[in-house]
Amino acid sequence: MEENVIASKLIVIGGSAGSLQIILYILRYLRTDFAVPVVIVMHRSTDNESTLVDVLSNACKLEVKEAEDKESIIPGKIYVAPADYHLLVEKNHSFSLDGSDKVQFSRPSIDVTFQSASDAYGKLLLGILLSGANNDGADGFADIRRAGGVLIVQDPEKAVAATMPQSAIDRGLADYVLDAQQIVRYINHSA
């Protein structure tokens, strides 16, 4: 697999039900000199805003922070989409927050972040779709595909909730279907 790894300038990870454990695993095993920014979009309630950043920070040697409106995207940082906002990636490689209607019953929506990131980073984008119980992420994956980015889906057989990764696979949008260890290996080679 490593022979086919394409260098990325941004990694976007989307997950919902059952994705926290694999996200913790991925962050725990990132190289200490990892220099690509990572954006994590998870469906979550508004009552645990800072808790998610704290939990992820404890698993990771890199800085983990909640993305802020108009903030520039810095290499080597892990950004978390804030609860109850859509997180957009702008063409000038900064963030904007949007409080518009939910997409796929979610805000933040994985689709919204994936779609905007594909416009900003094109073929230099790596999209990863993890466990989840709805179809959020598949439409955004289609945009990443059109822009020439790379698409990784968690193996549905290893996912707590297989609907989200299976939806992308069913639409032919997975370049790779990987387990947690393989995802970490790919990411560490893409930086």
Catalytic residue list contains 131: no
Catalytic one of 8, 16, 116, 131: 16
Cα–Cα distance between 84 and 100 in angstroms, integer?
Answer: 9
- What letter represents residue 145's amino acid? R
User: How would DSSP label each residue in the chain?
Assistant: -GGG----SEEEEEE-TT-HHHHHHHHHTS-TT--S-EEEEE---GGGHHHHHHHHHHH-SS-EEE--TTPBP-TT-EEEPPTTSEEEE-TTSBEEEE----BTTBSS-HHHHHHHHHHHHGGGEEEEE---SS-TTHHHHHHHHHHT-EEEEE-GGGSSS-HHHHHHHHTT--SEEE-HHHHHHHHHHH-
Catalytic residue list contains 16: yes
Catalytic one of 86, 131, 136, 143: 136
Q: Which residues belong to the active site?
A: 16, 43, 136
